[in-house]
Amino acid sequence: MDLMEQKVTKEGHEQYNELTHNLGGETMPYLTTGLFDNTAVAGVRPSSTLSVNISNNDTSTVAIQIEGFFQSGTTKVKYVEEFFTLAAGAVALKSYYAQFDAFEFQLFVSSQAVEVSAWGKDATGNLTSAHRAVATEINPF
């Protein structure tokens, strides 16, 4: 999946807010992985992709928005914006391009019953333990 396939219109925030209101959900804190350092060593980056696992443990459908950023100098640049819903009891696995010196993912979820974890993967698909954020380590902001 290329960057254009992952990017959604700016209507995502509005859709998220409208859907959380329509679902009767109260808007929950936003979550972040924090900034991952992914500087190349001998020309190879530790992670080439980031896998985001999302589990909806709620009894109703939830709204989710994912935003991905890479660092360019002293600026964060958004390169991923994806909005979707996830049915009760469902799981979603998303994979995002991560060939940057530093990157961060932020998630907006409409329920506290949603659990998120994220793992970097190298070019051969192996997990990169330095780029992991399990559910208890994903920070609200």
Please, what are the averages of pLDDT over each run of 10 residues along the chain (141 residues)?
Answer: 37 51 55 91 94 96 96 96 97 97 94 92 90 60 46
Q: Domain count for the chain, please give it.
A: 1
User: What burial class does residue 1 get, using C-beta atoms within 10 Å of its C-beta: 0-12 exposed, 13-18 middle, 19+ buried?
Assistant: exposed
The predicted structure's pLDDT at residue 28: 59
pTM: 0.76
Rounded-to-integer distance, Cα 42 and Cα 57, Å:
42
- Which pLDDT does position 140 carry in this prediction? 55
* 108 touches 83 (CB < 8 A): no
CATH of the domain at 53: 2.60.290.11
Q: Find the domain containing 135 and state its range.
A: 3-140
| pLDDT given at position 130 | 74
